[in-house]
Amino acid sequence: MDSTTPPTPLAHESLVRAVRDALHPTLSSMVEHHTLMQSALTALREQQLVLADQQLALQAALSTLTEQQNTTRLNAEKMFGVQMRMIEVGKQRPLARGGYEETPGLVRFNGPAPWSLAEDVPKLQRFFQARFGRSLPISAHGQTPLHDRMGFDHRNALDVALDPSSSDGRAFMEYLRSSGIPFIAAWGAIPGAASGAHIHVGQPSPRLVGRR
């Protein structure tokens, strides 16, 4: 056949089929490779989203932890100021047995009844639950690491997280007084203790030996 003669339809079809058959493996491989790449990119995006969520969660947790540490430090400073004020007032104006004193930001009662954490705390809890329908908000039962750091002997004392100026705090103090249980209540008006409001049940906590 002369090279200038156009191919017959049959020959053209055969040529197209031959080219298609030759390219098919390559095209299939390219499609498969493209599919794998798309899957890999999708998986990578999902991992990036997961990592981003984890990073946000970690940042939130660190922020919460920092806030809690700052709150704990501030509360410790406030409580230290309150405890020192209690000691100072006790030295300046000792209360006689059964004596009661109420001044701005400070209420003291030197109750004559014997006081015991083991025997009396359950009574206080029952009273508060029956009166207010909720648990007594105890913030420190006996000695705690915080009292160790502050240098106070709190082994036979109870701290209750009630604002003495609130109705709940007043009712609780009235119960303590009627039961002859000694207590000291302090709140915001105390110099050097911006808040630190709580009711200390038991005798004032003395400074531990060796602390100043």
Instruction: Give residue 14's pLDDT band: very low, low, confident or very high (50, 70, 90).
Output: confident
Decide if pLDDT at 68 tops 80: no
> pTM higher than 0.85 for the full model?
no
Mean pLDDT of the residues in the chain: 78
Q: Using H for helix, E for strand and C for coil, what is the string for the chain?
A: CCCCCCCCHHHHHHHHHHHHHHHHHHHHHHHHHHHHHHHHHHHHHHHHHHHHHHHHHHHHHHHHHHHHHHHHHHHHHHHHHHHHHHHHHHHHCCCCCCCEEEECCEEEECCCCCCCHHHHHHHHHHHHHHHHCCCCCEEEECCCHHHHHHCECCCCCEEECCCCCCHHHHHHHHHHHHCCCCEEEECCCCCCCCCCCEEEECCCCCECCCCC
Summarize the confidence of residues 51-79 as an average pLDDT: 73
Summarize the confidence of residues 83-110 as an average pLDDT: 77
pLDDT in tens, 119-161: 999 999 999 999 999 999 998 888 888 777 777 778 889 999 8
Decide if pLDDT at 194 tops 50: no
Instruction: Give residue 57's pLDDT band: very low, low, confident or very high (50, 70, 90).
Output: confident
Domain coordinates in residue numbering, the chain? 74-201
